[in-house]
Amino acid sequence: MRIFVKVKPGSKISKIEKIDESHFSAFVKAPPVEGKANDELISLIADYFKVPKSRVKIASGFTSKNKVVEIG
């Protein structure tokens, strides 16, 4: 499955909001430094979809707020 995520780093709380079937907004506490926000995003998505973190990959947008995430 492929989803599109808009990430907002440095938020007060970590959460995911569903916009439609394939678009989500993610709020992460971690700053966008050294991949910390990406790591927290992967953990949030894994918890949301109840899959192991190893099955969640950022397909594109590593340094962008708009990311394409694959869940396998």
Q: What is the pLDDT of residues 55-65, one digit of tens each?
A: 999 999 999 99
The model carries a pTM of 0.93
The pLDDT, as a whole number, for residue 22 is 96
CA distance 52 to 11: 24
Q: What is the pLDDT of residues 21-46, one digit of tens each?
A: 999 999 999 999 999 999 999 999 99
Do the Cβ atoms of 17 and 4 come closer than 8 Å?
no
